[in-house]
Amino acid sequence: MLPATCLQHRLRCQIQALSLLFLFLALESVTAVSQEPQSDFCRRFSHQSTVIDDRLYIDGGYINYRKDDKNYVATENEPNTWLGYHDLNNFGGQDGLLNPQLHINLEKNRTMPTVAGGILWPDSINKRFYLYGGNWISPQRADAFTLTGYDIINDRWDDFGPSKIKLNVTALGAGVGVSQTGKGYYYGGWVSDKSMDGGPKDAAMVSDFYEYSYDNNTFKSLKGIDDRPRAEGGMIWIPTGDWAGVLVYMGGVVGDGGNKTSPQPLDEIFLYDATMEVWYKQKTEGQVPQNRGQFCADVARAPDNSSYNIYLWGGKAEYPPLTNASAYSDVYVLSMPSFRWLKADPDISIAPANRTGSRGRFGSSCNMVNNMSHMFIIGGNYPNESNVDCEPAWAVHGFWTGTVNNTGNNEKWWGFQTKDTTGNVVPSLVYSAIGGDKNGGAVIKSPKDGFSAENRPLSNLFSSAWPSPNRQPSRNVHGEAPSRLSTGAIVGIAVGGAVALAIILFAWWRLGKRVLQRREEKHRAEVTQEAQQMNQMQQEEQQKQQTQHMYQDRHFHSGQSHYSSYFGSGSVGTVTTPPLNESHWGSLPVPGSTDQQFPADATELPASDGNAIIEHKPSVSPVSPRM
């Protein structure tokens, strides 16, 4: 049996350990809700985004927080471990601007990786999206690949298992997901031990081109443009031609052997017939953007599908040739099938015509929203940026594809919606070059010199009405989505959890105290029982001695010898036994009491001043030599 002091010490150690755990969890909860990308947002970049129904989802990437209500970057580049979305039906959020409200109450537990430079493949038919590729930044080393996806209806992440074919999982590749056909595509990128388990320590470009089938949960390796590795380009899907549509690949960098790279000029793009699995190389003309990578782009088609206009934003400058910026802040439009580049912003009427905005960035995301009337440009990394001010409106910048309020003129591009929009229009910037008006009616439907003999099938692809495959959901998508918790509710849950833990600790302490008291009572009872037994033995011994004295007294009074008195007869006298007191068995110590107390973006981007920007060297990348 352990002494009471040992039991007491053990119980004290257990309670102290639980108290420390309680304090840690409480601090963790406070920290978790004290810095989050809704109220403490400053900047973000290299994230993944997609649009499903009336939500623009944002996952992963890097984020900078403000601190103590100061409007400047106060933290290093931190992993954005939150899954959030902008409500496209609720405009009028942060800073009094008509920007879409940001929510950060979606499920993303700590078992889900946070990556940068990956892609979200949307499946609006089945109400989910898939996360593919990217460099792991939390944790910092990739595990064995399994495809994961977010279930919008049930607010949970699902694991779709490993691929049946060997994949080179990369970051900063070019990709696109297509809900209408149930396909996801990904081309090239940088492979390393941060993008896949067993990858090389030093990042290397690849030439792999993959297709993923949503409905069959299978990957397929496709033939690329050529055998040269490629990365940091852009890929857009066009609903034209046969049922699988057409993919457009542009920009980025290509490998020249070893660690050497060169830019892929934007005066040459690549188109992929996704039904026939055939690549075409096509020259472009007009106001061609400077060489760049890590830009973002999306497409808005004319109301009558007579033209498909790709809007390209920003990007990282790729040399040669030498330019006057390390990153760009501009918007270009590539109109197809005329394959003409047109510069939307900054205004080309202000010399020089190829100038860029004063705050170039790369690693942004671009998504068409509101019936293609807007392209939302979110975040971006500012190389060599001395200005560390936080971006307003959660770094969301609204660009009207048909100019503000769908006027179709070229007067104003930047701004969030001010009224409901039911469709998009073609801006005069485009229809003045290809014919028609803001509702379509393009006249020029081929390159300046026509399609070459090898590219003649492109003419058929762009002149054919796209036969929608009418894909149906493979699960019940009509159930109500679970109600969303507000940030206040999240804080309440965290505080409630801390209180619940405190109650558990208090109950544990009370139970321990009660157990200790019962053990002390048992010990005291055992000691008392032993004392009683000793007392009884002493009484019996004294009675025996008194009996012997009685016989001796009888012998003495009869005058007989000891032996005759012992065997003879006579009257017996009476002897009274003295009462026992504490002096006979001593004072037994009783344990004392052991009770102890234990501690328990804005409506308009900054105007350009027209001055050339002094060239700066890009800053040290936080993740890879290219990010």
Strands 209-213 and 218-222: antiparallel
Per-residue pLDDT averaged across 56-65, rounded?
96
- pLDDT for 324: 76
For the cut 60, the answer to whether the pLDDT of residue 456 exceeds it is yes
Sign of CA dihedral 420, 426, 428, 429: positive
Whether the bond into 337 is cis, omega within 30 of 0:
yes
Task: Provide the Cα torsion 284, 285, 289, 291; round to 10°.
Answer: 50
**Of the candidates 467, 409, 501, which has an alpha carbon nearest to the alpha carbon of residue 26?**
501
Strands 209-213 and 183-187: antiparallel
When pLDDT is cut at 50, 70 and 90, the band that residue 66 belongs to is confident
Per-residue pLDDT averaged across 417-437, rounded?
89
Whether the bond into 320 is cis, omega within 30 of 0:
yes
Contact present, 234 and 250 (Cβ < 8 Å): yes
Q: Lowest mean pLDDT: which of 185-194, 428-437, 581-590?
A: 581-590
Kindly list the structural domains of the chain, giving each domain's residue range(s) and its CATH number in brackets, ordered by start: 35-467 (2.120.10.80)
When pLDDT is cut at 50, 70 and 90, the band that residue 72 belongs to is confident
For the cut 70, the answer to whether the pLDDT of residue 520 exceeds it is no
Each residue's pLDDT tens digit, 378-394 = 999 998 777 788 888 89
Task: Please give the backbone phi and psi of residue 568, each rounded to the nearest 5 degrees, phi first.
Answer: -90, -170
For the cut 60, the answer to whether the pLDDT of residue 442 exceeds it is yes
- pLDDT for 199: 96
Owner of token pair 């002897």: 575
**Of the candidates 622, 602, 623, 148, which has an alpha carbon nearest to the alpha carbon of residue 415?**
602
When pLDDT is cut at 50, 70 and 90, the band that residue 198 belongs to is very high
Structure tokens belonging to residue 44: 């973000």
For the cut 50, the answer to whether the pLDDT of residue 488 exceeds it is no
What is d(CA 414, CA 399) in angstroms, rounded to the nearest whole number? 5
Sequence length of the chain is: 627
Per-residue pLDDT averaged across 15-24, rounded?
48
Radius of gyration, alpha carbons of the chain = 40
Residues linked to residue 268 through DSSP beta bridges, in sequence order: 283
When pLDDT is cut at 50, 70 and 90, the band that residue 489 belongs to is very low
Name the pTM for this structure: 0.74
Per-residue pLDDT averaged across 65-90, rounded?
87
The mean predicted confidence, pLDDT, of the chain is: 79
What is d(CA 385, CA 193) in angstroms, rounded to the nearest whole number? 30
- pLDDT for 347: 79
Between vectors from CA 32 to CA 29 and to CA 33, what angle results, nearest 5°? 90
For the cut 70, the answer to whether the pLDDT of residue 563 exceeds it is no
For the cut 60, the answer to whether the pLDDT of residue 620 exceeds it is no
- pLDDT for 251: 98
What is d(CA 365, CA 62) in angstroms, rounded to the nearest whole number? 13
Per-residue pLDDT averaged across 529-542, rounded?
58
User: Which strands sit side by side in the sheet containing 174-178, from one edge to the other?
Assistant: 174-178, 183-187, 209-213, 218-222
Each residue's pLDDT tens digit, 145-183 = 999 999 999 999 999 999 999 999 999 999 999 999 999
Residue of 437 and 557 predicted with greater confidence: 437
Task: Please give the backbone phi and psi of residue 51, each rounded to the nearest 5 degrees, phi first.
Answer: -120, 125
When pLDDT is cut at 50, 70 and 90, the band that residue 351 belongs to is low
When pLDDT is cut at 50, 70 and 90, the band that residue 98 belongs to is confident
Percentage of residues of the chain with pLDDT beyond 70: 68
What is d(CA 295, CA 311) in angstroms, rounded to the nearest whole number? 11
Residues linked to residue 186 through DSSP beta bridges, in sequence order: 175, 210
Percentage of residues of the chain with pLDDT beyond 90: 56
**Of the candidates 221, 216, 157, which has an alpha carbon nearest to the alpha carbon of residue 185?**
221
Each residue's pLDDT tens digit, 273-312 = 999 999 999 999 999 999 999 999 999 999 999 999 999 9
Sign of CA dihedral 76, 356, 363, 38: positive
What is d(CA 171, CA 409) in angstroms, rounded to the nearest whole number? 39
